[in-house]
Structure 1
């Protein structure tokens, strides 16, 4: 792997940018799944303690119940999606800046190779 004697495979994996990117990409969905599961377990415990059974509700009451129960989950996933989209836009912006910098270097190299003989290249 590396020539440094202190490096181990674990350190090399931790320093791998692609592995960090994969972990970072999976982090928000995992958090969302855990929070959703925690919420649903809490809801089931609450209903069991209260002795309520949603199956006994009339259809309009069941619809109200399901709407009220699912709205916090929907809001959670909306917020997590916002954070993930913000992160993706930040990465895209960084990639565009790197691409522009590389294009400037390419133009400078072409100018240097041309020797400045053409007036169009000086603009």
Structure 2
């Protein structure tokens, strides 16, 4: 009789631990991300964070797939990613505050929008930002 209770408790404990480690889209967000200072220049783009905020994000094939909600990092002076609100276009999910690392983004030639170099499946595996 005690064995099923012990096994059930072990499974529940393991499930809880796994859920706490999961930060992919659709899972609870993480509080390790912080919005960076508005006047901070973001090196890959040469623009201040407040100018990147609200920029459109285009997919690799063109077309708007979302916009930048916030520029985030592990501290106010360390930009590592942007939180993107995706619109559900071109196969990308309709979900807000996805943490997209800067390495997946380039600034277009006109410096008016960002281009995402990630598939919809990769986006689904990215973290979620709790603002």
Larger RCO, structure (CA 8 Å, separation 6 or more)? 2
What TM-score, normalized to structure 2?
0.25
Instruction: Identify, as 1 or 2, the structure richer in helix.
Output: 1
Greater strand fraction, Structure 1 or Structure 2: 2
Q: Higher Cα Rg: structure 1 or 2? A: 1
